[in-house]
């Protein structure tokens, strides 16, 4: 075998080794991304199954209640007895980061249907769905006296986001927001620029902040425009030491009545 043939053989081996390395790296990334979603989804499914069977211990084990109440078990007991869950459909679940997911659920009861988007967070090594997200119109103001460091940091991040929004600078804005997984950045620069040029500029105010872990919070944010205002529940996560508002997927919890004879349109 001459030197040229040897060189070709070595090149072929290097190409194959490189391809295998790239393929393994890609597979590792898929596993890393898949595991949090599988674990988060499992926690939600376990909670819904427990709710349907009125298994209070499992409901508590796979959830955390947002509002500060003394007896969650008593609340879940009353919920199961008065409004037993007939069926539930998980319409979407998306991973924000390794400790945070957002899940959308349609829950059917005897006389009502709930539509909700809730956080699922990893806390102390276990994934839990956050229950008790308030509906529109309910505002729980933050305690102005007994506030911890995280609450101050979340409030500061929201105010910095408002300042960045006023500048219309997408690079600066992205320091304080985390795009939801389904959000495309295409056209966002024009969107933020249009908001920055609104006169008078909208007033962004955090009304209530609830810290659920060292890396996750829920903030009720009011945005006042000249002729109207909105208040929505936003998920806020901490990445690389910086709190960020999750942009493009607000938290919801709404109910509609259900009759015995619904009219179905196909």
For the segment 231-261, what is each residue's pLDDT rounded down to a tens digit?
999 999 999 999 999 998 899 999 999 988 8
pLDDT tier at 30 (50, 70, 90 boundaries)?
Answer: very low
Name the pLDDT band for 146 (thresholds 50, 70, 90): low
Residue ranges per domain, the chain? 33-132, 149-247
Q: Cα separation of 142 and 4, whole Å?
A: 75
Q: How far apart are CA 130 and CA 119, in angstroms?
A: 6
- Residue carrying the six token digits 């709930």: 114
Q: Tell me the three state secondary structure of residue 160.
A: helix
Sequence-ordered list of residues with C-beta below 8 angstroms from that of 112, at least 6 positions apart, any chain: 83, 255, 256, 257, 258
Starting at the edge strand found earlier in the chain, the sheet holding 229-239 runs 177-179, 242-247, 229-239, 216-224, 203-213
Class at the top of the CATH hierarchy for domain 149-247:
alpha beta
The verdict on domain 33-132 having CATH code 3.10.450.50 is: yes
Between CA 195 and CA 231 the distance in angstroms is 17
pLDDT digits (tens, 9 = 90+) for 102-144: 999 999 999 999 999 999 999 999 999 999 988 766 666 656 5
pLDDT of residue 136: 65
pTM metric for this prediction: 0.80
Asked if 257 and 110 count as a contact pair (C-beta separation under 8 A), the reply is no
């Amino acid at each position: 075998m001459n030197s040229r043939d040897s060189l070709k053989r070595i090149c072929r081996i290097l190409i194959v080794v490189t391809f295998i390395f790239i393929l393994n790296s890609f597979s590792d990334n898929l596993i890393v991304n898949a595991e949090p979603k599988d674990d988060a989804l499992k926690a939600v499914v376990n909670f819904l199954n427990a709710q349907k069977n009125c298994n209070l211990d499992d409901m508590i084990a796979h959830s955390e209640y947002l509002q500060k109440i003394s007896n969650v078990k008593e609340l879940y007991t009353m919920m199961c007895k008065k409004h037993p869950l007939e069926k539930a459909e998980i319409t979407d679940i998306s991973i924000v980061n390794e400790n945070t997911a957002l899940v959308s659920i349609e829950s059917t009861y005897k006389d009502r249907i709930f539509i909700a988007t809730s956080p699922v967070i990893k806390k102390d090594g276990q994934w839990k769905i956050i229950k008790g997200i308030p509906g529109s119109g309910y505002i729980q103001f933050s305690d102005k006296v007994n506030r911890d460091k995280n609450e101050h940091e979340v409030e500061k991040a929201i105010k910095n986001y408002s300042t960045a929004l006023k500048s219309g600078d997408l690079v600066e804005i992205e320091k304080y927001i985390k795009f939801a997984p389904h959000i495309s950045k295409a056209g966002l620069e024009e969107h933020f620029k249009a908001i920055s040029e609104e006169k008078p500029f909208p007033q962004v105010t955090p009304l209530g902040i609830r810290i659920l872990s060292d890396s996750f919070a829920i903030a009720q944010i009011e945005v006042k425009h000249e002729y109207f205002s909105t208040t929505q529940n936003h998920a806020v996560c901490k990445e690389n030491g910086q709190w960020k508002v999750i942009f493009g997927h607000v938290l919801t919890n709404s109910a509609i009545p259900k009759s015995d004879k619904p009219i179905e349109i196909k």
